[in-house]
Amino acid sequence: MTDPSVPIPRPGKIIAIHLNYRSRADQRGRTPAAPSYFFKPSSSLAGTDAVVERPAGTELLAFEGEIALVIGTAARHVRVEDAWSHVAWVTAANDLGLYDLRANDKGSNVRSKGGDGYTPLGPELIEAATVDPTQLRVRAWVNGDLRQDDETSGLLFPLPQLVADLSQHFTLEPGDVILTGTPAGSSVIVPGDVVVIEVDAPTVHGNPSSGGLRTTVSQGSVAFDPALGSLPAVDDLQRAEAWGSREEAGLADEAPAEESGGPSAGSGRGGLSAGLRAKLEAAPTAGLSAQLRKRGLHSCFIDGVSANLPGTKIVGTAKTLRFVPAREDLFQSHGGGYNAQKRAFDAVDEGEIIVIEARGEAGTGTLGDILALRAKARGAAGVVTDGGVRDFDAVAEIGLPVFSQGAHPSVLGRRHVPWDVDVTIACGGAAVQPGDVIVGDGDGVIVIPAALAEEVADAALAQEEEDAWIADQVTAGHRVDGLFPMNAEWRAKYDAAKGSGSSQGSVTGA
């Protein structure tokens, strides 16, 4: 149904440009050589005083004040010098976007920019023939504070160029809308915020204006169904781009993940190749632990934790989270808002394991069902904490493997303050660094330095093969003396059996 507050008929096409203001390009640190575009559905159109929902389970809904062009006459293969004559009106637009879904859409922006009400337009139309396309201005206010103020003289690609360029590829029809980019200052908005956007022509007599395009944000109650498609997911890069800068996003003191140089960069799920992951999944922690001891590493076992899902095997690389002891003033400064705990669970990558330093304090929960659901949605391989777990049964039902000291109903603030992410921590008596390989099963959880993981996995599997042969000999009635561990005589028999391809058979007459 057409929104009566929208000043134009329902458009056949809404075309938006990705990046077009120098101020925005400087903010993003990249300048495109040519314009690139995406489509928005006409169902995203809304008028002034619209209420737009931030979907349940998301955090990064951002406004973008833009100049919208409304095509008046069909344009196909038009020249730049003629292009503006095909534009009938200019007005204000709010190109709303949900950064939680941006990575999933990989530039198409189908879901991240296509939601109902994500293209407010209006309220008034400025006749394009009465204004100079190089001297228009767009401004945006959030709750009365001016956030964006830029002019078309600061465009990378002038407005007539956009019309001419698009007309090379398809016919621009009357009523089609072109969103021409947003300047620096776009940022995150939250439920209750009111955004006002205005486009005007300050150099023209009378200063023709679109008027104030008002949009109010509300909180949605319906979450995305994981059975239907990819779920919202954010990381620090998306936060920085949604807020406009790392400082605005509260990330000024942290290095971007892609600059960390850690082992997770480009090396597969959780930093592990498929082949290495398969080896580690086949190797028991007991065998891996023995191989670490042979290499002089005796303190790689996380003590005191057990699995919430019996029979669980977890393999992944560590994403670390550190809690410090509870102190009222520290909890006030670090415990609320978007704290380290929430950031860790929001940023965990597929195949990673969140490892939590809780100082062995089992007297409170270090995660609960909501965070477990978030980690599961992000593809985390599991969680290891030397503290307690709140909502223990619900976490188990979610299916996220968690190794912990057991259940406890208390909230985090009783004993802990969330403090750091992606730092070296101590968990269950073991030092854990981001990117360390974590393996857990019924015998417990061990930490393997990433550089040793392949070597240790190969040696553990070789030992498993040897142990299986020894077990066959014991089953056949042989004494363990000299067999386990093997003396020279038994070693020769094993090597002969292995060389013949019958290493699983028993040796007779010995």
Distance between CA 157 and CA 154 in Å, rounded? 9
Domains and CATH numbers, the chain: 14-243 (3.90.850.10), 267-454 (3.50.30.40), 476-510 (no CATH)
Beta bridge partners of 238: none
Contacts of 173 (CB under 8 A, 6+ apart): 12, 13, 71, 74
Return the beta strands (E) in 75-114 as ranges.
87-94, 97-98
pTM above threshold 0.95 = no
Per-residue burial over 383-420, b if 16 or more Cβ lie within 10 Å, else e, is bbbbbbbbbbeebbebebbbbbbebbeeebeebbbbbb
Helical H segments across 385-481, by residue range: 392-398, 453-475
Q: How many alpha carbons fall within 13 Å on the CB side of residue 489?
A: 6
Helix (H, G, I), strand (E, B) or coil at 55: strand
Q: What are phi and psi of 120, to 5 degrees?
A: -60, 145
Sequential pLDDT tens for the chain (510 residues): 356 666 777 899 999 999 999 999 888 777 888 999 999 999 999 999 999 999 988 889 999 999 999 999 999 999 999 999 999 999 999 999 999 888 777 778 999 999 999 999 999 999 999 999 999 999 999 999 999 999 999 999 999 999 999 999 999 999 999 999 999 999 999 999 999 999 999 999 999 999 999 999 999 888 888 778 877 877 777 788 888 888 888 775 544 433 333 333 334 445 788 889 999 999 999 999 999 999 999 989 999 999 999 888 999 999 999 999 999 888 888 888 888 899 999 889 999 999 999 999 999 999 999 999 999 988 999 999 999 999 999 999 999 999 999 999 998 888 999 998 999 999 999 999 999 999 999 999 999 999 899 999 999 998 888 888 888 889 988 888 888 888 888 888 888 887 765 545 555 444
- Give long-range contacts, CB 8 A cutoff, 24+ apart: 191-196: 191/54, 191/217, 191/218, 191/219, 192/216, 192/217, 193/142, 193/143, 193/217, 194/142, 194/143, 195/63, 195/65, 195/94, 195/140, 195/141, 195/142, 196/140, 196/141
Among 365, 363, 368, 371, which residue's Cα sits nearest to residue 394? 368
Distance between CA 52 and CA 283 in Å, rounded? 51
In the chain the first and final C-alpha atoms are separated, in Å, by 88
Between helix 340-347 and helix 369-378 the angle, nearest 10°, is 30
Among 422, 375, 451, 424, which residue's Cα sits nearest to residue 257? 422
